[in-house]
Structure 1
């Protein structure tokens, strides 16, 4: 895979986490999360994911919950053959990621992109997990009957 293969805007299709020790799968952002990841040609990326069913917060406490329920980060990215994506994070909703290298393994098939993380610690989890995120290139048609399940 080449960096230019990623350039563009991608819309989330699904997101799950798998506990590294037990294999237990969870969907911390629900069955239909909202999200976008953008890769620009100059080597910068930005990702934002929010859970399904999110409502407009009306109190400070609800705002805090909404903040904790999202994922957002940005940084410079590079692709290392054959399929390793490395992002050097310079801003993130989760401060421990700032300055880190976030590693994802890519599977690209037409307009579908699956990113699988190296083991990582997420603020919502109590153990190391693999995150698996499936994306669809913006403007690409969904597969027939994708929403019929």
Structure 2
């Protein structure tokens, strides 16, 4: 009988927690580690969607409260090098094309739900010491991250992320 009374209480507490998070400023909601769920390019002109990093991309997007970020994204099941740590030119090219890595500082705009990244360094040398603008939306524990000018070309890159659980949970 007690279990029946506990269900509405647990539901109310869950709703209040989710509502409180939604009321937080976007930057506060963004802080944390996010696990990559999907990465697609959406071409608005053709209606075509491409899974640039395959059907099961791996990675984390991390944003700390001090305004630093790190993005690590790889294509799952990349081929191993024939000679462990010394790839051939083709193996090195394939590995590089299967990842995006960058780190730097960020600022959030509540006005247009955007994030301005100052990229200090990354896997694309042309990005070093540049500024990029992305658009984000957070709903509960899901983050949608949109890049209107992706290096992968063909429309808008849309990354869907889920808040990563604590390793102690």
TM-score normalised by structure 2 residue count: 0.73
Q: Which residue of 2 aligns with 1:11?
A: 35
Whole-angstrom distance in 2 between the partners of 1:35 and 1:6:
16
- Contact kept? 1:79, 1:85, Cα under 8 Å: yes
CA RMSD of aligned residues (A): 1.7
- Specify which of 100, 122, 142 is matched with residue 130 of structure 2: 100
Instruction: State whether structure 2 residue 161 is matched by structure 1 residue 135.
Output: yes
1:6-46, Cα deviation, whole Å (9 max, x unpaired): 11111001110123543422111001100111101110101
Q: Which residue of 2 aligns with 1:91?
A: 121
- Specify which of 63, 77, 81 is matched with residue 110 of structure 2: 81
Q: Which residue of 2 aligns with 1:26?
A: 50
- Contact kept? 1:57, 1:66, Cα under 8 Å: no
- Contact kept? 1:75, 1:91, Cα under 8 Å: yes
If you compute each CA radius of gyration, which structure gives the higher value, 1 or 2? 2
Instruction: State whether structure 2 residue 94 is matched by structure 1 residue 70.
Output: no
Q: Which residue of 1 aligns with 2:71?
A: 47
Gapped regions of structure 2 (runs ≥ 5) = 1-24
Q: Secondary structure at the match of 1:56?
A: coil
Q: Which has the higher strand share?
A: 1
Q: Which has the higher helix share?
A: 2
Please report how far the alpha carbon of residue 131 of structure 1 lies from its aligned counterpart in structure 2 after TM superposition: 0.7
Q: Which residue of 1 aligns with 2:12?
A: none
TM-score normalised by structure 1 residue count: 0.82
Gapped regions of structure 1 (runs ≥ 5) = 141-149
Q: Which residue of 2 aligns with 1:113?
A: 143
1:20 and 1:90, CA in 2 relative to 1: closer, same or farther beyond 3 A?
farther
Q: Matched residue pairs, number?
A: 136
Whole-angstrom distance in 2 between the partners of 1:66 and 1:115:
23
